[in-house]
Structures are given as structure tokens and as C-alpha cells.
Amino acid sequence: MFPAADDYDIDIAVDESAVADLLAVTPSDVGPPTELTFSRNVFVPLTTACRYTCSYCTYYDVPGEATLMSPAAIRDVVETGVDAGCTEALFTFGDKPDDRYTEIHDQLDEWGYDSIIDYLSAACEIALDAGLLPHSNPGDITESEFHTLRDVNASMGVMLETTADVDAHSGGRRKTPGQRLNTIRAAGRAGVPFTTGLLVGIGETWRDRAESLLAIRELHERYGHIQEVIVQNVVPNERSDFDQPSVDTMRRAVAMARVALPEEISVQVPPNLSPTGELIDCGVDDLGGVSPVTDDHINPDYAWPALEELNSIADDAGLPLYERLPVYDRYLPTAVRRADVAPATDPADTDAWLSLRIRDAITADSDAGRQYRAVAGRTRQPAAYP
Ligand SMILES: O=c1nc2n(C[C@H](O)[C@H](O)[C@H](O)CO)c3cc(O)ccc3cc-2c(=O)[nH]1
Ligand SMILES: C[C@H]1O[C@@H](n2cnc3c(N)ncnc32)[C@H](O)[C@@H]1O
Ligand code: MET
Ligand code: SF4
């Protein structure tokens, strides 16, 4: 049983023989992908308030210092993204601020919002109106919050991080594996195309990595919602001194992910944190959200590579590079999905993976709609934008 699994009724059993099989995997057991993809995004850090204090994280601010972006600031950032040819607004920020953040709650209240999730919905509307598809990672949330947010998000995500109880998550307010798995399951129940992943190097063992991947696979087998799994190495920063995992560790972790997960799930490694070029032959097929205009606010010391660098990773690997939307091809409406892409089986409790609002945005007779379809149809030349 995973730590705190009982608190959330998590019924995922560890299959010992599957763990043993994964522990034996090496990079020579897998091959390279047939293509590489990435999404062009702007990063919108709604608030730096966070109820948790993960010891690897420099993102959050303590009460009194935490910031909250105004609607005008959100509009500014997303418009910069539209001008730079982006299709994705990435909303990633602190997990639901607790009562200590009185200023944040007061400000939300003054603007007419009950919670950060309410405000996130409004922020997603701003992005959609400007011409970007939202992908939100608001941390741990409930199934009913997913139902609210699916209306205005093309896809969502939360990193599992690990199924282990690690010191990096110790303390009174912390992420627990049970709650993370509960969030990923809730997304599946709500029919939300979903991104999750492992944070490698925060004190977990190889066995923990194998178990984490098998837990993700199990939830995908139930709901079909996992579009990509990020294998992200921890990077040192001014708050923490975790050792960055070696290239060999990342090669083995990526190969393990590739073997553990069905082929339809992409394996993503962020090229600003890893020597991704050295991991492609282990099964990486996606380079994630890369921004031409904003920092990676979670890891601000690690700049995004330019499009030319992505091209050279692909060239060196002898692979074609395609831009994609924040939601993967198989969840797209039939009218927009390329003919050679098999559709995902319908989700459990809705009649489509994407809300009407999102489908309308993608099929609209507007500049943004045309951009989305050109990216999905692979008819837009990446070189068309800086
Ligand atoms: O720019 C970043 N994008 C991050 N992304 C975004 C991701 O690269 C893209 O937005 C997705 O591939 C969707 O297109 C995450 C998305 C998630 O759902 C969960 C975790 C992450 C983590 C990061 C991150 O640290 N930096
Ligand atoms: C959005 C995701 O960013 C990751 N994250 C947070 N801090 C770090 C760090 N120092 N190095 C790498 N990834 C980090 C976590 O996995 C979080 O879920
Ligand atoms: C800024 S970290 C990413 C979002 C959320 N706080 C989480 O840890 O999952
Ligand atoms: S990683 Fe996310 S949950 Fe953890 S402290 Fe940072 S912002 Fe909060």
C-alpha cells in the first residue's frame, strides 16, 4: 500500500513481478521514437502562495510575500504568447493556499472569487478569448473541481512526483502519495486528458520509481486519460542542494517509463533541465511545453532552449520535429484529428474528452482556430514564428 492510500480509498496493488521486470530494464531494451513533439506555450504563474513547502521548490512564497496576478497581468502575458505564435497557456502555481494567506484570500474576495480554482476558471477564459488553449496544473484538487475546470481546459496535469514517502515532502503541510493518486484518479473520472510524471532524485529508490510508473499505468488502464508522463530530474537551486541525477540515471528511468507505459502515452523530458538529446534513444518522444516568451517560473535558473536547439536535438537523433497542441491528437474531435491518428476511447462519464467550449475554440472560424488546426494538422511551419 502507498503512504496515505487508505485516506483516499486508493485501491492500487503493487504487482511484485511487474516491479521485478521493470527493475531489470536497461536502455538497451528500448528503441528511439519515430518523431519528436513539443508545444509552444506561455507560462502564467497565477499565485506564488502555496499550502505546501516541498523542500526542492523555490517557487512558493511565504504569507505576506506571495503574489497574485491580476486579470490585466494575465491578459498581458497571454497576448504576448499569441503574438509569438503560441497555442498553449500553461497555468502552474502553488497548491491551494491555506488560511495563512489572508491577503491572497482578501484580494480574491475583492475581485469576486471564492477560491483560487474559481479564479483559475476566469483566467482560463481570458486565455481562450485571447486565442490560447489552457493547460492547468493547480496541484491536488477534487473530482468536482475537475468538472468545473474541464469546461475551460484543453488538458490538465499534476505530477505524481513519487509514490514514496520522501523527506522532501515531510512536515505538517505536505504532498502525500495517496492524495496525488486521488487527484490523478479524479481527473480520469472527470474525463480530463491528463499529464503526470515522476520527479527523479528527491530521495526515492529505483523500486519507488518502478512502483510509481505502475500506479500511473493502472490508472490509465481504468480511465484512458493519461496523455504523457514527464520524467523530470530535480535540479539544485538556492533553497535546496539535491544532486542532479546523472545522465545514466535518467537514461535508465526513461527506459523504465517507456517499458512500463503503453505506447500511446508519450514520455516527456524537459530540455531545459536535462541533456535530453542523450535520452532520446531511451524512448523520449516529447520535449514538453517550451516558451519563446516566458521563463520556466518553477525553475527560473534554467532557460528554455530556442526552437533551433530543439531542431538540433531532433536532427542529431535523425527524427522529425512537430509542434503539437497542449492536448494530444487522439483526444481531438474527429473533424480536426489527422486521419492516421486512432481516437481515444470515450471517457467514463462524459460523451467527449473535450468540453463544447474547447471544441468550439478548436473548430472556430477565427485566427486562433486556424492556428490550432494548422498545428494539429501539421501544416504550420515551425519556422513561421521566431
Ligand atoms: O514549463 C514547464 N512546464 C511544465 N509542464 C507543462 C508541460 O511541459 C506542457 O504544458 C504539457 O506538455 C502540455 O502541453 C507541466 C505540466 C504538467 O501538467 C505537470 C508538470 C509540469 C511541469 C512543468 C515545468 O516544470 N515547467
Ligand atoms: C511542476 C513541477 O515542477 C517540479 N519541480 C519543482 N521544483 C523542482 C526542482 N527543483 N527541480 C525540478 N523540478 C521541480 C515538481 O515536479 C512540480 O510538480
Ligand atoms: C508550482 S509546482 C506545480 C503545481 C503544484 N503546486 C504542484 O506541486 O503540483
Ligand atoms: S512544488 Fe508545487 S506544491 Fe510543492 S511547494 Fe512548490 S508550488 Fe507548492
Distance 217 CA to ligand 2 centre (A): 21
Crossing angle between the packed helical segments 367-376 and 356-363, to the nearest 10 degrees = 90
50 belongs to an annotated ligand binding site: yes
Ligand 3, atom 1, lies closest to the CA of: 93
pLDDT of residue 351: 81
pLDDT of residue 305: 82
204 lines ligand 1 (CB under 6 A): no
Ligand 4, atom 6, lies closest to the CA of: 57
How far apart, in whole angstroms, are the C-alpha atoms of residue 232 and residue 218?
A: 20
DSSP bridge partners of 266: 228
Residues 6 or more apart in contact with residue 289 via CB below 8 angstroms: 38, 39, 40, 41, 43, 88, 90, 135, 326
Please check whether residue 114 lies inside any domain of the structure.
Answer: no
Please check whether residue 312 lies inside any domain of the structure.
Answer: yes
Task: Work out the percent of the chain whose per-residue pLDDT is above 90.
Answer: 91
54 belongs to an annotated ligand binding site: yes
Q: How many domains does the chain have?
A: 1
pLDDT of residue 350: 81
Please check whether residue 65 lies inside any domain of the structure.
Answer: no
271 lines ligand 1 (CB under 6 A): no
Amino acid occupying residue 280: I
Number of Cβ within a 10 Å radius of residue 63: 14
**Residues 82, 88, 94, CA angle at the centre, nearest 5°?**
115
Please check whether residue 86 lies inside any domain of the structure.
Answer: no
pLDDT tens for each residue of 328-350? 999 999 999 999 999 999 898 78
Please check whether residue 210 lies inside any domain of the structure.
Answer: yes
pLDDT of residue 183: 98
How far apart, in whole angstroms, are the C-alpha atoms of residue 364 and residue 369?
A: 5
- The grid coordinates listed for 212 are 510509481
Distance 89 CA to ligand 3 centre (A): 16
pLDDT tens for each residue of 188-245? 999 999 999 999 999 999 999 999 999 999 999 999 999 999 999 999 999 998 999 9
Please check whether residue 73 lies inside any domain of the structure.
Answer: no
Ligand 3, atom 8, lies closest to the CA of: 139
Please check whether residue 124 lies inside any domain of the structure.
Answer: no
326 lines ligand 1 (CB under 6 A): yes
How far apart, in whole angstroms, are the C-alpha atoms of residue 160 and residue 183?
A: 9
The whole domain housing 356 covers 6-43+157-384
Going by their DSSP bridges, the two strands 155-157 and 36-44 should be labelled as: unpaired
Distance 153 CA to ligand 3 centre (A): 17
282 belongs to an annotated ligand binding site: no
211 lines ligand 1 (CB under 6 A): no
Q: Which of 50, 91, 158 has most ligand 4 atoms within 8 Å of CB, for mutation? A: 50
Residues with CB under 6 A from ligand 2: 56-57, 92, 137, 159, 161, 199, 232, 234-235, 237, 273, 298-299
- Here the CATH number for the domain that contains residue 256 is 3.20.20
Average pLDDT for 30-35? 96
* pLDDT band (50, 70, 90) for residue 380: confident
Task: Work out the percent of the chain whose per-residue pLDDT is above 70.
Answer: 98
pLDDT of residue 384: 56
What ipTM does this complex have? 0.96
pLDDT of 26 > 90? The answer is: yes
What mean pLDDT is reported for the chain?
95
Going by their DSSP bridges, the two strands 36-44 and 88-92 should be labelled as: parallel
Please check whether residue 338 lies inside any domain of the structure.
Answer: yes
Residues 6 or more apart in contact with residue 237 via CB below 8 angstroms: 56, 58, 299, 301
- The grid coordinates listed for 13 are 496493488
Distance 17 CA to ligand 1 centre (A): 32
How far apart, in whole angstroms, are the C-alpha atoms of residue 293 and residue 85?
A: 10
